[in-house]
Structure 1
Amino acid sequence: MSPSIGELRAVLEHAPMGVLVVSRSPSRILYANLALTRMLGYDAEALTGKTLEQLLPEDARPHHEAWMAAFFADPRQRRMGAGGELFALHSQGHAVPVDIALAPMHLDGQLCAAAYLSDRSLRRQMQRQFEQIFAAMPQGLLIVDEQGLIKLSNPALDAQFGYAAGELLDQPLEVLLPQRYRQGHVQHRDDYARQPTRRWMGAGRDLTALHKSGQEFPVEIALAMLDMHEGRHALAMVSDISLRKKAEAALQQTNAQLEEFTYVASHDLRSPLRGIGDLLSWIREDLPESAMTPSVVQNFERASTRIERAERMIDDLLEYARAGQRDQRLEIVTPRPLIDEVLSLVHIPPEFRVEVDVEGQPFATPRVPLSLSLRNLVGNAVKHHGGTQGLIRIQMREEGRFNVFTIEDDGQGIPAGADERIFKLFHRANTTTAGHGVGLAVTRRMINAHGGAIVVSRQGLLGGACFRVHWPRIAMKEVDDE
């Protein structure tokens, strides 16, 4: 017993998807439910009894009769479109993307076609947004199906590998791998498909990829699994790390050269100086008292002073080399007691006044290099002040992931144009004070080694020198891994 139109309406009128029932011959719309009329902007009365062609875009109408004939020749449940996009025509004239499923239905004793329509507009919009985001990502991205075929690549990846847009589509992923990796990669790919997790590929190994030109380049690859409409796909995020590898190699070479220099400075320079000092002592002992005129004594003293100065310069060089090493020992540091400790270790004449203004929470950091850096800056504020009395102000504020320490004074300040030169090794902005021009170079090297920065500020309120130290209060992974 087949249902009637009234019975069909009672069951399907408020169904969440659009339902359309079409007769066989002549092909007329017998029923359209509420979801379908809302989807396409019609009243039910405007559709009932009309031909189906008014709901079809112009380019689909010539094929409609053949589609209907094929369905009634083999009436069974099926999806329309065979993977292509389908559209229905809205009453206002624009196309609405839809999914359509067909099923045979007997209505009032006659064989009909029931079409079930789902509006794909939102899904299509989300897909378009995904494609736009995918294409705009600066990192190379690949989507690979379960057979290992590339289904999507973004412009960044195409550029990394030297391919034109779309050239990689439906190519096996192995075309991007050096020949020696290809056979083993198929097994790795299958293993990952069985136990998919978000992870880095080849952890602990140096990975290389194959450019279209045949050259290899180092990469990092992150993997994730996506559940898509067509099945499970793997998402690969590929980063070309050629520049980083070059920088790492250059840094290793620089460090090796610095270690070699440190060894030379410590042994091959210090020993001759000590030998010269010993020779001067022996010569002085061998000279009779009558020969020790005031000018001779003065020359011996000048020579000894210069030897001591040269040894001090060697010590400064070694200190500069050691300042580039990062201290891995973390302690919980409370800012105000740290400043108090610094002030207790620096000789500040009683004629100088110190103001401290600190606002910040305890944080985990290597205590010694931070304390030493602040100690050097406070000591410089006294040594290079230029007056017999003065004011030093120390301030700390939290800014983002940094604690920003400001050390300023009301002294003679830093000459214009010397903001960068004062951080160079053996540069002295003021020749009237003692020292070899190493303190600020060591301080900056030490701060940089721990992920911070130091700059000269021209916005100080006291009119003298003003330094701002940005010291990490929240460690970042790239700093931790150095």
Structure 2
Amino acid sequence: MTVALQNQADVHVALTHAPIGAMIIDETGVISWANNAVAALLGEPDPSALRLSLAFVWLPQDDADILRKMLEVFFAAPVDARPSWTRVVSVKALEGIQQTVELTLTSSPGDFDKRAILYFQSLTRQTIAEKRFTQIFENLPLGALVVDGRQHIVQVNSALAGEFGYPREELVGQSLEVLLPPRYREPHSEHVSGYVQAPSSRIMGTGRDLTGLHRSGQEIPVEIALTTLENGAQPLFMAIVSDISSRKQGETALQQTNAQLEEFTYVASHDLRSPLRGIADLVTWIREDLGDIELPDDVKHNFDRISLRIDRAEQMIDDLLDYARAGVRERHTETIAPAELVEEALGLALVPDGFEVEIDLQGRDIVAPRAPLATSLRNLIGNAVKHHGGASGRIRIAMREEGRFSVFTVDDDGKGVTAGNEERIFKLFHRASPGTSGDGVGLAFTRRMINAHGGMVTVRSPGTLGGASFEIHWPRMVPKENEDD
């Protein structure tokens, strides 16, 4: 076998099982050999059927003319200086299926110099992926933009353009600074440089209020999530930008309501305590004035009832103060072992000896403020005893993980909650069981405290044990408030 034939055989062997299509053509475009991949791409079951046909017939006329000219330039050049050529074209297969492919013309190795190799790399999947990304990007209900490493806007969707009051075409190509208030521009540039060095998917500016600059010059509160995009030429970064003006207005209104509630409660408690203390003093003085006089039993009973009601009124004032404070989120967090938390809550709830307590904890440690979570569990355990309806019974305390929440369940085998009252029992001054002691603040206080920390509490009846089943969804991890950018 001659050296030329050996080279040809080696090239065929190397290309036969290549993952991309390849054909060998001469300077006129005649195909002398093709591999299985290019035959499959063109819809031809047998690659040998392509032999002695023209490569141009698979291309649109304009692309075919360009390939002809390129072959002339290619074969006119010395073998060791022949230029490679790449072009994206549409190829129509035998079944009429049109595909986007990348053509690459390159030299054949060795002494096989009368031929060239034409590679066919299908871009159909890439094109579909790009179309899907574009559709998702454009149809996002949140603002989104893509910027390059120099902080120029490469792509922007309609939602973001609308949030900032610009036409889309006016933002593309602009510096990102156009969307930033002037005081943020210099530090933002430094933050971006740091992010480029160590990119990651994360929330920007955690723990700080961020604002963007509307076209009108007004600043709007925003939340921004950052991520990187794969791109061969240069790094690209995508930001999801949410206009949170409505949420901020709601938070402000809630803060004002909480402040007004707390102020009202403090004033009311002060104004109510004075007459209560006066009544209590009067009762004490009357008893002292009566001295050793033997009073009828019903009079003694009424004196006792007055004292009891004064105590209950003072307790109600204390409960109202606690309720007002419960709307404030506690910032200090710690790592809490669920078993220790439940043990602490049981110790404070003072469960009678006649009750059997079952514990089933299936979850990891929690990062949370200890006091509000422990207090909530204690209240629910105490509630299970107080409203049980019997001197003995069963209580089951369980925990599981569900998404980003740790879910605590407190079940009992008592009389449960009357149908239709599942939400009413969380209202202020509503008592679950009219015949029990209390002022109806406990469950309202518990829900307010849990909600303030990003959780929720619900009840269903009958539960697992036949009585009430209270469930606390508590966030397992509290976002770390740091000086992030």
- Following superposition, the deviation at residue 115 of structure 1 comes to 3.7
- Give the match for residue 246 of structure 1: 249
* C-alpha distance in 1 between matches for 2:407 and 2:376: 14
The alpha-carbon deviation at position 466 of structure 1 amounts to: 0.6
The question of 1:409 aligning with 2:413 is answered yes
* CA contact 1:453–1:470 (8 Å) conserved in 2: yes
Q: Which amino acid aligns with 1:12?
A: V
Name the aligned partner's letter for residue 328 of structure 1: T
1:69-111 per-residue CA deviation (whole Å, 9 max, x = no partner) reads 6777889525344xxx412343444333222234578999998
Distance 1:381 1:182 in 2: 54
Does residue 140 (structure 1) correspond to residue 123 (structure 2)? The answer is no
> Which residue of the partner structure matches residue 339 of structure 2?
334
TM-score (norm 2): 0.75
- Which residue type is aligned with residue 354 of structure 1? F
* CA-CA distance at 1:450 after TM superposition: 4.8
Identify if the C-alpha distance between structure 1 residues 11 and 354 changes in structure 2 by more than 3 Å, giving closer, same or farther: same
Name the structure 1 match of 2:179.
Answer: 177
Question: Kindly tell me: are residues 227 and 260 of structure 1, through their superposed partners in 2, closer, same or farther at Cα, counting changes over 3 Å?
Answer: same
TM-score (norm 1): 0.75
Could you say which residue in structure 1 is the equivalent of 2:83?
Answer: 77
Residue range with higher mean Cα deviation, 72-81 or 308-317: 72-81
1:393 corresponds to 2:399: no
Give 1:271's match in structure 2, choosing from 232, 250, 274.
274
In 2, are the aligned partners of 1:422 and 1:440 still within 8 Å (CA)?
Answer: yes
Change (3 A) 1:191 1:113: same
Give the % identical residues.
Answer: 40
Judge conservation of contact 1:334–1:361 (CA < 8 Å) in 2: no
- Asked which structure has the greater RCO (Cα within 8 Å, sep 6+), the reply is 2
The change in CA–CA distance for 1:443 and 1:133 in structure 2 (over 3 A counts) is same
Q: Would you say the 8 A contact 1:390–1:409 is kept in 2?
A: no
Amino acid at match of 1:57: P
Counterpart secondary structure, 1:410: coil
Q: Secondary structure at the match of 2:56?
A: helix
User: Among 453, 456, 461, which residue is 2:456 paired with?
Assistant: 453
Distance 2:429 2:144 in 1: 49
Distance 1:105 1:360 in 2: 69
Which residue is 1:256 aligned to? Answer: 259
Separation in structure 2 between the aligned mates of residue 274 and residue 451 of structure 1, nearest angstrom: 39
CA distance in 2, matches of 1:97, 1:437: 71
**AA in 2 matched with 1:408:** D
Alignment check: 8 A CA contact 1:333 1:367 kept:
no
Q: Structure 2 unaligned segments of length 5 or more: list them.
A: none
Asked whether the equivalents of residues 54 and 89 of structure 1 are also in contact (C-alpha less than 8 Å), the reply is no
Structure 1 residue 222 displacement after superposition: 3.7
Is the counterpart of residue 420 in structure 1 residue 419 in structure 2?
no
Is 1:346 matched up with 2:350?
yes
Q: Greater CA deviation, 137-146 or 292-301?
A: 292-301
Structure 1 distance, partners of 2:208, 2:414, is 55
Q: Relative to structure 2, which stretch is displaced further, 55-64 or 68-77?
A: 68-77
Distance 1:367 1:424 in 2: 25
Number of aligned residue pairs: give it. 464
The RMSD of aligned alpha carbons is 4.6
In structure 2, C-alpha distance between the alignment counterparts of 1:289 and 1:238, rounded to whole Å: 79
Aligned residues of 1:450 and 1:479 also touching (Cα < 8 A): no
Give the match's secondary structure for 1:477.
Answer: coil
Name the CA distance, whole Å, in 2 between partners of 1:201 and 1:337: 36
Aligned-residue offset at 1:423: 1.5
Distance of 1:234 and 1:315 partners within structure 2? 54
The answer on 1:470 being equivalent to 2:472 is: yes
| Matched position secondary structure for 1:261 | helix
C-alpha distance in 2 between matches for 1:375 and 1:182: 47
Tell me how far 1:329 sits from its aligned partner. Answer: 4.7
